[in-house]
Amino acid sequence: MKSSVLVARAVFPSVLDRLRGHFDVEANASDEPWDAAELRRRLQGKQGIFATGERIDVALLDACPQLRAVCNMAVGYNNVDVDACTARGIVVTNTPDVLTETTADFGFALMMATARRMAEGERFLRSGAWTKWSYDMLTGSDVHGATLGVLGMGRIGQAIARRGAHGFGMKVIYHNRSRLDAAIEADLGARYVDKPTLLRESDHLVLVLPYSAASHHAVGAPELALMKPRATLTNIARGGIVDDAALAAALRSGQIAAAGLDVFEGEPRVHPALLTLPNVVLTPHIASATVATRLAMANLAADNLIAALGCGPHAGRPPTPVNPGVLAGR
C-alpha cells in the first residue's frame, strides 16, 4: 500500500509529480501556511511531511503517531524538535550543500550593499533628492582589504570567507564551535579568534551560525558594544540570533555603522524600529532564492522523503538525514 504524505506549502509542480509517483499526496495549493491545528488535522494518517519551516514539535508528534519522516526543504531545521523525532523513530532530513554557493553569493552581496549603502542610495535617487554630485554623498566603507569576520564557519561561512579572501583581498577572522583544519585555514588565510576578538576586530561581520537555544541572541547589546563604530553586521542565518531591538538601538545611536538583514526575530514580522532606520538593508529571507537552487532544494527534500519511506532507488537511505541513527534502528 502507498504511504500518504503531506506537502505543507506550495512547491514546484515537477516535484509534486515526483512525489505523486510514490505516494498518496495531500498538498497545500494555496501557499498560505496552515495554523498548528490545521496542520495537525491534515497530518493525521500521514507517514511523511514535506516541510518548509513548519513547527514540528512534541504536541504535533504526539498527535500524529504514524509519522515516519520529516523532510525539511531548508538547510536549517530549528523548526523541528529533532530529539523528539529521534525518540519516536522519525527520521528528519534537511537540504545542505545544494544551497551553499547561492547563499554565500547573497550573503556577500548583502554585506557589500550594506557597506556601500546601495539600498539607501537607490531610495535617495528614486525619491528625486539627487540634484548634484557631492564629495561625501553616501560614503560607506571599503570591502576590499577590510577585515571580514565570520561567526559560524560551516559550509556557507567558508564559502563567504573564500569570496572575501580570494576575490576581495580581505583578511578573514572567524569564530566557530570547532576550529577548521589547518589546510582549510591556510586556503582561506583565516585566523581563528575568540568571540570578543571577532567582534572587536571585524570591519564586516557576517553571521552564518545555526539557530539553537545556545545561539539565541548571540549578538545582543553587550556584543554590539564591542564592535567598531564603522563596522557592519550582516545576518543571513536565522532570526533570533540577533537581538533585533538591541541592533536597532545600536544602529540608531551610531554604535555600529550599518546592518544587512535577511532574517528576523518573529519573521515575517520585522521589528518596527528597523523599518524606520536608513542604515539597514532589509530583505525577506531570500538568501537561497534562485530558481536553480530552490529547485535543487525541493528535489533533495523529495529524494529524502521518497527514500525515507522506503521507495525509489535509495530506499531506506535518504541522502541527507539529520538524525541518521534512526535509520540504523529500522
φ and ψ at residue 173, rounded to 5 degrees: -120, 155
List the one residue from 76, 121, 220, 310 that touches ligand DGY (CB under 6 A): 76
- If one asks whether residue 69 binds ligand DGY (CB under 6 A), the answer comes out as no
Residues 220-239 that bind ligand DGY (CB under 6 A): none
Q: How many beta carbons lie within 10 A of that of residue 9, not counting itself?
A: 18
Nearer to ligand DGY (CB atom), residue 32 or residue 62: 32
Spell out the residues 6+ positions from residue 202 whose beta carbon is closer than 8 angstroms to its own. Answer: 147, 148, 149, 173, 227, 228, 231
- Shortest Cβ 103–ligand DGY spacing (Å): 7
Q: How far apart are CA 40 and CA 56, in angstroms?
A: 10
Nearer to ligand DGY (CB atom), residue 57 or residue 142: 57
Q: How far apart are CA 50 and CA 114, in angstroms?
A: 35
Residue with cell 521589528: 271
Q: How far apart are CA 8 and CA 42, in angstroms?
A: 9
Residues 31-50 that bind ligand DGY (CB under 6 A): none
Nearer to ligand DGY (CB atom), residue 53 or residue 140: 53
Binding pattern to ligand DGY, positions 94-133, x when CB under 6 A?
A: -----x----------------------------------
Amino acid at position 113, single letter: A
Part of the chain binding ligand DGY (CB under 6 A), chosen from 71-79, 105-113, 185-193, 300-308: 71-79
Instruction: Identify any residues that bridge with 49 across adjacent strands, giving them in sequence order.
Output: 6, 70
Q: How far apart are CA 63 and CA 50, in angstroms?
A: 17
What residues are labeled active site?
238, 267, 285
Nearer to ligand DGY (CB atom), residue 53 or residue 321: 53
Quick one: which H or E segment has residue 48?
strand 48-51
Spatial CA neighbour of 64 closest among 25, 31, 36: 36
Q: How far apart are CA 140 and CA 230, in angstroms?
A: 9
Residues 288-317 that bind ligand DGY (CB under 6 A): 288
List the one residue from 7, 16, 19, 74 that touches ligand DGY (CB under 6 A): 74
- Shortest Cβ 74–ligand DGY spacing (Å): 3
Nearer to ligand DGY (CB atom), residue 15 or residue 99: 99
List the one residue from 75, 206, 259, 326 that touches ligand DGY (CB under 6 A): 75
What residues line the site for ligand DGY (CB under 6 A)?
Answer: 53, 74-76, 99, 288
